[in-house]
Amino acid sequence: GENVEQHPSTLSVQEGDSAVIKCTYSDSASNYFPWYKQELGKRPQLIIDIRSNVGEKKDQRIAVTLNKTAKHFSLHITETQPEDSAVYFCAARPNKFYFGSGTKLNVKP
């Protein structure tokens, strides 16, 4: 089955700096790669996604890049704000969803 690895497990940045979270996957059949933000005790919220026919997607301060050859994809958050602090999960979907282990992002004001 699919194996998704996510790094780093924790990330601390100063407000206004950029944050990058990286994931790798193993199954070449995966063709959908969402990123979720989860605040404590709440449901994961989809923040951005990318499909395998696209290399990059941007939505305001958030961007995702995908390298199918290398089987890795990354989340980029620019101009970070304290409200960006949360746990972020990547996922890959061949037929069902496989999640990364999560990254706890702390944005210091």
Partner 1 sequence: GAVVSQHPSRVICKSGTSVKIECRSLDFQATTMFWYRQFPKQSLMLMATSNEGSKATYEQGVEKDKFLINHASLTLSTLTVTSAHPEDSSFYICSASPAGGLREQYFGPGTRLTVT
From CA 97, how far away is CA 14, in angstroms rounded? Answer: 32
CB of 93 vs partner 1, minimal distance in Å: 6
Q: Does the protein bind partner 1 through residue 39 (CB under 8 A)?
A: no
Q: Two tokens at 43? A: 């449901």
Under the binding rule (CB under 8 A), the answer on residue 43 touching partner 1 is yes
DSSP strands (E only) in 39-79: 45-51, 56-59, 62-67, 72-77
- Segment interacting with partner 1, rule: CB under 8 A, options 15-23, 28-36, 60-68, 78-86: 28-36
When asked if residue 51 is in the footprint of partner 1 (CB under 8 A), the reply is yes
Q: Rounded to the nearest whole angstrom, what is the least distance from the CB of residue 31 to partner 1 in the complex? A: 8
Stretch that binds partner 1, among 17-25, 57-65, 66-74, 88-96 (CB under 8 A): 88-96
Instruction: Examine residue 32 and tell whether it contacts partner 1 (CB under 8 A).
Output: yes
Burial class (CB in 10 A: 0-12, 13-18, 19+), 90: buried
Q: Rounded distance, CA 9 to CA 96, Å?
A: 23
